[in-house]
Structure 1
């Protein structure tokens, strides 16, 4: 198989054209940058180079230091493991010697005295041993020997019970394992020798039976002193630690300097620890190297390079900051210049500068646009200027002389200016001195504003005001405006002046009589500040005007007064009052009310006329009974067949029938009696019962049964009882006639009256419903139901339902009618009206408004 790479897959070197394209791209990108951005990139280059150099130096020194730390760590690890092996061998050697003594004791080859001799030989030969004790199976000391370097009083007495907690635990463990066991190391405070100790327990087995232990106690300090090689302890701070990191013996490591706290790797002393075998994890040997110097990091070369790099960075940052401030100042100057130029070019006010001799030295674009002349045509010109109209040259020359001598008014003056095309317009000029930076006047600055349009608007406003005043003067209503808290009249039209003169008293009296608190202010209350100054007036001026009808005795007229708040032209809050003469309308309303009253009385008379036969039949019954009772009594008295008790009973029955006839006549008289509308608190049940008693007479004539339901505990209402009775009687009479015209069978000749409370749109009302079983009414009849003089009965006058609706609406209620359906079949109709429990009544004459 060939190992050659195909030509198509071989990488191709970039062509010169591609290199040229990349170079052109970078060059194009560089040219697109602003000068300030180019300067920033040029400044950042050296700064970045210095920072990278300093980072490289720091990285090199850090690498060397890490290498040095690694070497030191390897060395301390090796030396600590060597020292641990030395301690291990020394402990194992002592352990073997003690186990030999234990075997001799188990074979009964050694007594107490010989044990003390061998123990003394071991302790004298090996200084780390503090004591050797023989303890029997009952944990009592048979014999013991203590080193001469220890206080003799610490010798364990023969027969003493072993009570040390750690030694007791090791004793039990050695008894169970039948193997040598090291106890946990004890510090100087826990040990009975006032020094850190380590215990070794060798179990004694006599013929396979546990017979006690040999307890040897080591001085941990001597173990470190004689067990660790001298060359190791000279190079490192060596210490023996327990499993809780408490130092038992040795040298504390030296404290780290402040630099090491900030940069730990600059003073990372080598440190290593390992458990001491065969003791286990309960005893650790730790070594930490001594730092004689700071190493390469502490060398002067490192700090010299760092200081030079920092100084270079500081110089570059200072240079960059100075360059940035210079560019910012330059940009601010350019922006300010551009802003002033843009402001001058965008101003709608024309600006013109004159020197002290009257020569034009500067014009802005707005001035050129107003006059139609270019800057070159105006700058350098002297009077007469090309924008002066020929007819105004003399006047404008005088104005120019005043301008050069500083005699122009501060409020400016009006002039006529000619455009290049010959058109003349009105302008207003303001003149101010032109002062140079040294405080000396070098000329005059003139600002010119075109006032043609404002002048035209002002003239139109004047004409509009005149037209508005003419309209107000010719109104047939009195219009007046007065400020709140003031005694002046801001405006009054002709009719107001003819009624009340030019005094504000008429305005105040109209407000007072309309129900608003108003009084003539005293001298102390007259102030230039409005009474409502400081309060928001938007709600007042935007409020809808309120109407009131009052009677003015001085004029003998009824006036409709409308008032509202408005903001006057000077910003004060004022009140406008419009008073219209409504005396003819009030007279027409009174006449309409009288006519409506007569119509209601006529309607009741017509109703009673239609019910005359029924009423006669109703009266015939009690009158016939009275006649019969009287004839019977006369006959029995003549025949002397009546006693006093029968006579008294007959007289009482006659009196009751007479009272019944009188009640019927009295109710009819009250119903047809003409009286003024009188609204009073009335009981619904009384009104309904009276109407039912009168209507039942007519319903019985038509063979119609009446059923009624009246809810309990109905509230009292403010109504005219006679008028409401008239409405109920009319509706029940119409229902009976509708059933009779439909020729309904006896089972379906029913009229139902229901009265109960209801809540309509949050308003408590009492609702009356009259339901019949007739044929209802067609859509055409429904559309003309309340039309005056329209009736479906041949003898009807067509004013009953019209009057009923007027009466209900005069009580702020509503009358409605609807057909009742069973599927698509009409099975009757229902008339419903309701009366509010707490109405706000208008004038009684309003009952006739729908008759017009």
Structure 2
């Protein structure tokens, strides 16, 4: 009584664990909100760092562009100095080259040619008065002039202001021989240089300023609206140097409205979750009573399922196993906890038939499972294999929704083993009966040898008669003996060809002539064609590149195809029985077509034509075409069959040319 009373709970009261069950989600939601806020802050900080790295890379790229451009101007003026240093150089060269230089470099205000005393000899454009002669700029220009004279190399001057615009000069000495013959002075406008070299995308992102060594802004360029500056980076502008720096400033990254909205929504949703959890608390009591009733029902249903000898397996719409009964576990050898929750490929699937089993699995999930059931081949946990017959049915829940599939699995391993044993016995009997047909080659050999042996006998008798009569000449006997030798060689070739045809050997790839190969195959089967009143025609191109093939194996393919074609014309009127061996070629391969006008091949038969042990002949072995396809594929070719528009069939195969 006490024990029963201790387990009794008043209706409508929640168990002690339910309060913890609801508290944990609240803590999780609170922690999630904190983490999301931290994530947004980290994202904003990361965005600032990325902006800083981009700013530094852009400023370094711009500084490099300035340096390369000024160095290019220096190189062009040095080249001009070298060209004018020759004794035969004219002033016209200076005029031509400088005009081109100023036209392609807008920042060049003027290029002047000074003599050794610093007096202007020529200047372009000539209408602009030199700025070097004013005040302190004169002293700076003379210092740069003297420094370039002493060092003998190009020198940039300090930046100076004229009419509120910054300029700097480039001094390039001109030598004739080893003597200084003058100086080129290229005046650069810093404002024009910045306007030319700074691309549009740079000023869209940053405010660019050029500062002197005192921090004074000499020139600037930007399309950026003034705002709170957060990121600034500067690099030295050398050349021209003398404390000049490039400074780029990016506006501060402002928190977007979307981020603020997301933050507000997160806090709002967190409050909604807390409220919903509180509301769920009242529903938990009603649900617990319903769960108790379900436990009783589940126990009753489980007792029924455990008593079944048929394996039961349930899967959801994604293929995940949701239930197995003990009979299914016994069939597969896996425990229930090893199978429930598993997704394809399941552990009891046969690894050698994964694709086939997966294909059937997809059909079941698509609702295309056959109503009569289907077979699967599986592997138990201990490595033994089993066969099972599976019936699938939709799994419908209480609301009428299709939630998955319920399968009934029957073990048919022993039944399949008995069927396989019977099939193997039948195949052995069929193979034994097929071996009897190999005796047909004897008649072929006898007929082939009859012609050359008969010719040898005739030539021999003729020679003996001539010798006995004494009426002969050596030339006549030599001609007869040569023909006799040819027939003997022909008989030897027939015996060797038949021997090579039937003996087991490794394939040998060698260059061979396709015309000779076709002629040998036709000669081998010509007696059968004459017996069946079949005319054989060969259509070969005039020039044929050599093939890299095993001649005996390809002859075997041709012989088998021609023999099948002759037999297929058994019901064709004799006057229409015509076998054509047609050879065509393209750039890479040759195509051989064996064409007959027999009864043709039905579509259902054509699908199984190259299957081992399938034959349309009552006494056929069913291996000829399968062997032919293997031979052609060994030679990197293809073998197929198609219908002849004029009636009959066309067997075609391709062979690649020898490299």
TM tier, shorter chain? 0.3 to 0.5
Structure number, greater radius of gyration = 1
- The structure, 1 or 2, with the larger RCO (C-alpha pairs under 8 Å, 6+ apart) is 2
Structure-1-length-normalised TM-score? 0.27
